[in-house]
Amino acid sequence: MDGFINLKKLPDWTSHDCVAKVRRILQTKKVGHGGTLDPAAVGVLPIAIGKATRLLQYLPEGKAYRAIIRLGIETTTDDLAGEIIYSEPASAVTIDRIQAVIPEFIGEIVQTPPMYSAIQVNGQRLYKLARAGEVIEVPTRLVNIYTIDILNWTPGDFPEIEVQINCGGGTYIRSIARDLGVKLGTRGVLAFLERNASCGFELPQSITLEDLETQQRAGTFIPIAPERGLAHLPTVTLLAADLVKFWSQGKRLPLCELQLTPTNPDPSGFVKVMDEHCCLGVGEIRQIESEHLLVPQTVLI
């Protein structure tokens, strides 16, 4: 059983909890996920099972979120799960002011992750250091924010703005909530978060753990095929049995001897490698001296 699950994570489950539950349901040890989702958050959590766990690194990085940001409040965790350390009405903030500052958060920006996060510093998770009361400098990172669209605005003493955010991997929406509040002259926390797309998987097609368990008991569960998870990569097809054998042995193959899909006649970089029936893994097209070669990176057979 090798492939992916487009899992819909429900609130109060950690990403690790979901992986452990999938292991129990499917009775398999090889299970991994494609990007941590906070316990309070809901939405898409890509899961890989079996040999597909080797492919998680090749999934597309793009993510999309629907978030509600509450202004006038600051917490230790930058969301409502933490201890409130600032609370002052922010009724003076207007939607016009928000529209004026949001462009500052779009593009490649420097972001400071929340102290309560899974990032490692000196081999320790930040959230563990925070729980131990240690105060350290959180390292900044470059992240890509593609779009931020305002969906709804609710004025009041502690106004809320609902936004749709499309971004690259490694982006913390809690940090956007915190920094937006500061930019507006107040504070901000993340009040709600739904990931509606991640690594090429989208929320409408996702299933819950309960759905997975029901399908497994009925014998109807079929994982998403590896090649569907790698649909964004160009395809190289190995038709000859000897080429498949050489690939499985980790040998480099001359590109001129292979069949390329019509839509990708000149691939470069990473490619998914197929035979007539299934995905054989991921390779990389490299030019070595005067020859273009298919170099195995991850072999599934």
CATH of the domain at 277: 2.30.130.10
- 107-111 and 84-87 as β-strands: parallel, antiparallel, unpaired? unpaired
**Do 127 and 47 sit in the same domain of this protein?**
no
Q: What is the pLDDT, as a whole number, of residue 244? A: 92
Domain-terminating residue out of 210, 227, 244: 227
**Do 55 and 204 sit in the same domain of this protein?**
yes
* Measured distance between the N- and C-terminal CA atoms of the chain, rounded to whole angstroms: 13
Question: How many Cα atoms are found within 13 Å in the side-chain-facing hemisphere of 288?
Answer: 10
Kindly state the average pLDDT of the residues 191-205. Answer: 96
Q: What is the pLDDT, as a whole number, of residue 182? A: 96
Percentage of the chain lying above the pLDDT 70 cut: 90
**Do 78 and 28 sit in the same domain of this protein?**
no
Strand partners, 283: 271, 296
**Do 271 and 216 sit in the same domain of this protein?**
no
**Do 176 and 212 sit in the same domain of this protein?**
no
Contact 18, 45 (CB under 8 A): yes
Domain coverage including residue 20: 3-60+200-227
Q: What is the pLDDT, as a whole number, of residue 36? A: 87
**Do 184 and 103 sit in the same domain of this protein?**
yes
Q: How many structural domains does the chain have?
A: 3
**Do 142 and 82 sit in the same domain of this protein?**
yes
Q: Kindly tell me if the per-residue pLDDT of 298 is higher than 60.
A: yes
Q: Kindly tell me if the per-residue pLDDT of 126 is higher than 90.
A: no
**Do 119 and 141 sit in the same domain of this protein?**
yes
Matching residue, tokens 């069949």: 259
What is the per-residue pLDDT across 199-253, written as a single tens digit (0 to 9) for each? 999 999 999 999 999 999 999 999 999 999 999 998 888 888 999 999 999 999 9
Q: What is the pLDDT, as a whole number, of residue 121? A: 65
275 belongs to the catalytic site: no
Residue type, 145: I
DSSP state, residue 241: H
**Do 9 and 102 sit in the same domain of this protein?**
no
Of the candidates 297, 195, 182, 176, the residue with the CA atom closest to the CA atom of residue 236 = 297
Single out the catalytic residue among 38, 78, 79, 179: 38
Interatomic CA distance for residues 196 and 16, integer angstroms: 19
Of the candidates 173, 150, 137, 159, the residue with the CA atom closest to the CA atom of residue 35 = 173
Q: What is the CATH number of the domain that holds 43?
A: 3.30.2350.10
**Do 255 and 276 sit in the same domain of this protein?**
yes
**CB atoms inside a 10 Å sphere around CB 100:** 12
Contact 189, 72 (CB under 8 A): no
Question: Cα 70–202–43 angle (5° rounding)?
Answer: 40
What is the per-residue pLDDT across 260-282, written as a single tens digit (0 to 9) for each? 654 454 566 899 999 988 999 99
Q: What is the pLDDT, as a whole number, of residue 133? A: 63
Q: What is the pLDDT, as a whole number, of residue 35? A: 84
